[in-house]
Structure 1
């Protein structure tokens, strides 16, 4: 199948934070609680003893948060392009009231991301819990993997403190290596360092989450965009088995969760190494380990997202393409909640055309479709997405892009997973959704239920709570209930709302999430037709 890689090269839907801070050691407090679990709270501070040492978090009006806790050693020097090692212990109490470093990534137009970030000591986790009075035994846990096109973002991008309080769950976010640092494959290396970092964070969660009030037997992995793709990939990874009991994929089934063959990955890796003067395959990895992070980032410029920087298929941690593993039953048989947004392609299309003052014209529309999808599929798409059906050429292109890349792969993934486990399906379809901070707030562009729009209804992207009207607040409460119910008992329910359809019982049915004025939440069985999946499922 032809994918719109050219568009993705220019369009990175990353959620990036506004603040940078590093964790530091604090003196041992005389009043430290000697328990391994949540310690005494005073002056807004709270203590927990992790497997590496004590951490001091803080109490907020939403609950408790512990930020910037190392879950692995800094992947620097000889540890670059090697599997992560457990975090070393420390003496005293580590300050866990500030986020740690973001992993290396290039500058972008997102607020707080105006400069390259090169700190490699970045493998940190953040833990959010409800208030102490909400703790009733061990709580379900969600480990959320951030998005960013495999080249950007950080665990701090999603602040789930209100979500943790409302759902009475514990939530973990974390950083993992990105771009070349996380996905480069060379002779003598395993590749998949981002995937291995994610598994290291899951193992840290298994070892430590009970100390924060969480239940290690009820861990759900979740993620959006590239984070959702990571969840999809982890389901197919034998080395992640037993680290979680359920999974949530938000807009993450793009490319059918496909990775690169090891042969292709090594070829890409050697070409990248050659750009930095490391031309001998046997010594390329050691040669690159001597290069500054800023040089690695500079060499990444102009590379395509997900083509160079994607998971490698063929090793012990990922022996099969995820789609093949799902079809063959060689994936984790856990309950899955999977969905996408109804207008995913709008933000990508804006970034590729309108953001730079060059809206797509009617005359250029046919060529744009062929350029993105190839001659055969592009020509067929012209008939399926006629300009007369859309207010602007940009919107027609966005519909094709979103259907091809997100909507139809999500529906195909449902079909592959459902014969061997429970799969619950949704589509976020609130066209009145407020814009995230990574989108221009006053652009002459209707973003609708675009990529990442659902995050405003669940969390605080960039730490900012979206301004929701009463109808949107009601939908937010319903969505939070669906997600929270799934975390608690692996069935997504909400009070006085339809239960999210399960595919083995209701094949092809999807719950559309909408505000009451737009018809409210309702199941539908016609999304394959709405998104023209007969075209995209057979496109070469």
Structure 2
């Protein structure tokens, strides 16, 4: 099936292991190879198999590929479709385990003799493990172009993986974590073949936003494959594993399987139901998967001894276990200015009274009091004022808190270098429901440089360009800005992007004074949660949020 014809010039390259490959030149100094398959699927709810050859593959990599089946979000939220974008995005369950690779043209013009051994930047998309794809909005080509302009060229790669129930359901025959094993196969493929494009497999930086960053964390919790580490540096963009997304116990995962079977109306149970599921039209599974997500359940990692060994992975051990990862020495991580704003449905379900009571029921009056004091919550406070605070609480719980805990642990208990940032630039798209807010994922609209044509000011374009440059510096092994060190207290240095100064280094004290931000709230949360250390625990599992959608 042709997914649209490209009018841009093409370039054919003879990969030393894979043979001839034709991509498109876009922009003028970058070759983009689209929809390269990295694995095959032997069947639904089965683990993917690493593709070792492209011998049976069409050598035309100039067309967009299929997305993995999922309930797609609205492209209007990012300013509308891109020129030439196909809507709706074609999806195919068995043809969607693909990569997109962007390579400096000069690197390929004489084989790999020029600019060989380039650093590689691999992007893992977010979307709460239920949506996302390789598309124009996550295109690394303009980052690669920027790296060439700055004389520190890189290769950019993006990958897809299975989503929702198709990617994360635990099945009665023992199948689980299909999407994460897909990611591992993609990273293995990159290790095996990126050298033929001129890349350095020992200089891979994995970067991901939200679920993409959490995915990278999960790969850091697993031992590297026999062939060696899958990446060397990481950038976690609002993406450190939160208490809400630690590995689900098998009984909990089994209950999600039962919910899906019931939602579809299958009478059989166990493996008999699984066979029925494998024979269904894929859209029925996607619809049922979305229904379960909309009712407050999450599709994510399931306990897996093959992945973790005998380690018990609970919310309070995430920082410690990531700190043990011996093959990562440098970590960049950060958050947006107001992460919690994406949880409107959750906040609308809360009042000062039901929140206070629910947290007290969950943690006990003493620990609940710690949280109420930290967030200045009283049962009779104004609802508007409370809602603003509730957004902060959810953002701290899911995004800011885990990042702060990891930064604190890594800089006080390990020798790893940590570079911390806050992206406090507001959404520039008037038709977006979070217009003029520095919400979760707003940084994705800037780092790739692909949205610059629709920014209203040159200042925002400069923010976007600098964003890409800092990420490229890090991938090239440079120090992007001063290290963050928790023990420096209020004088600890972070990088902040805001609409007053652009990208600027500030002390924690300066940032708190200017923006009334405080990570001390996050530390209070961890203190209040001490009674549930070593247990599966989700702070958002309180009665008012029992059925609230999380993604």
TM bin, normalised by shorter chain, reads: 0.7 to 0.9
Per the TM alignment, residue 281 of structure 1 is displaced from its structure 2 partner at its CA by 2.6
Residue of 153, 159, 181 corresponding to 2:166: 181
Among 106, 120, 123, which residue is 2:97 paired with?
123
State TM-score, norm by structure 1. 0.78
Structure richer in helix, relative to its length: 2
Q: Which moved more, 1:52-61 or 1:108-117?
A: 108-117
Q: C-alpha displacement at 1:456, in angstroms?
A: 2.6
2:306 to 300, 316, 324: 316
Match for residue 294 of structure 1 among 270, 278, 283: 283
User: Which whole-Å CA distance do the structure 2 matches of 1:470 and 1:530 have between them?
Assistant: 32
Deviation at 1:501, TM superposition (A): 1.7
1:406 alignment partner in structure 2 = 399
2:121 equivalent in structure 1? 142
The 3 A distance-change label for structure 1 pair 145 and 199 is same
Contact 1:236-1:326 within 8 A present in 2 as well: no
Q: Is the 8 A contact 1:65 1:97 kept in 2?
A: yes
SS at match of 1:162: helix
Preserved contact between residue 431 and residue 449 of structure 1 (Cα < 8 Å): yes
192, 200, 205: which is aligned to 2:185? 200
Whether 1:500 and 2:514 are equivalent positions in the alignment is no
Counting only pairs closer than 5 Å after superposition, residues 96-175 of structure 1 correspond to structure 2 as 96-111=61-76, 117=91, 119-132=93-106, 136-156=115-135, 157-167=137-147, 168-175=153-160
Distance in 2, matches of 1:326 and 1:392, equals: 32
Change (3 A) 1:390 1:308: closer
User: 1: CA distance between counterparts of 2:129 and 2:4?
Assistant: 24
1:107·1:117 contact (CA, 8 Å) conserved in 2? no
TM-superposed CA distance for 1:415, in Å, is: 2.8
SS at match of 1:186: coil
8 A Cα contact 2:336 2:439, kept in partner: yes
Give the CA deviation at 1:468. Answer: 5.9
Change (3 A) 1:473 1:43: closer
Mapped to 1, the partners of 2:357 and 2:73 lie a distance apart of 28
1:452 is aligned to 441
Output one character per residue of 1:425-466: Cα deviation in whole Å (capped at 9) or x when no partner.
32324344524xxxx6265x66432111222331146x6755
Q: Which of 204, 225, 230 matches 1:219?
A: 204
Give the Å deviation of 1:69: 0.6
The alpha-carbon deviation at position 289 of structure 1 amounts to: 1.7
Moved more, 196-205 or 93-102: 93-102
The DSSP-based 3-state class of the residue aligned with 2:308 is coil
Name 2:84's counterpart in structure 1: none
Q: Note closer, same or farther for the CA distance 1:278–1:201 as it changes in structure 2 (3 Å cut).
A: farther
C-alpha separation between the residues in 2 aligned to 1:373 and 1:99? 51
Q: 1:466 to 1:259 in 2, by over 3 A?
A: farther
Where does residue 111 of structure 2 map in the other structure? none
SS at match of 2:404: helix
1:409 alignment partner, SS class: helix
Structure 2 portions without partners, runs of 5+: 82-86, 109-113, 148-152, 530-551
Is structure 2 residue 462 aligned with structure 1 residue 480? no
Residue aligning to 1:340: 335
TM-superposed deviation, 1:230: 0.5
Question: CA distance change for structure 1 residues 470 and 374 in 2, over 3 Å: closer, same or farther?
Answer: farther
Distance 1:166 1:519 in 2: 18
Residue 515 of structure 1: CA displacement? Answer: 4.0
> What is the match of residue 55 of structure 1?
21
User: Cα RMSD between the aligned structures?
Assistant: 3.7
Measured at CA, do residues 76 and 101 of structure 1 come closer, stay the same or move farther in structure 2, by a change above 3 Å?
Answer: farther
Counterparts in 2 of 1:21 and 1:260: CA distance versus 1, 3 Å:
farther
TM-score, reference length from structure 2:
0.76
CA distance in 2, matches of 1:117, 1:539: 44
State the SS of the aligned residue for 1:208.
helix
Which string of whole-angstrom CA distances, capped at 9 and with x for unpartnered residues, describes residues 289-326 of structure 1? 22221121122133137944111123212334276365
Aligned positions, number = 483
> How is 1:520-535 mapped onto 2 (pairs within 5 angstroms)?
521-525=504-508, 529-530=518-519, 532-535=521-524
1:209 to partner: Cα distance: 1.0
* Residue 495 of structure 2 is aligned to residue 512 of structure 1: yes
Cα distance in 1 for partners of 2:161, 2:126 equals 11
What is the distance in 1 between the residues matched to 2:26 and 2:105? Answer: 8
Deviations 1:85-110 (CA, angstroms, capped at 9, x unpaired): 42653358521112211001024333
User: Which stretches in structure 1 are left out of the alignment for 5+ residues?
Assistant: 1-19, 27-41, 354-359, 494-498
C-alpha displacement at 1:513, in angstroms? Answer: 1.6
Partner in structure 2 of residue 32 of structure 1: none
Query: Per-residue deviation at 1:409?
Result: 1.0
CA contact (8 A) 2:259 2:292 kept: no
Structure 1 pair 96/446, CA: closer, same or farther in 2 (3 Å)? closer
Q: Corresponding residue for 2:457? A: 469
Answer whether contact 1:23 1:97 (CA < 8 A) is retained.
no
Task: Verify the 8 A CA contact 2:38 2:98 in the aligned structure 1.
Answer: yes
Alignment correspondent of 1:537: 526
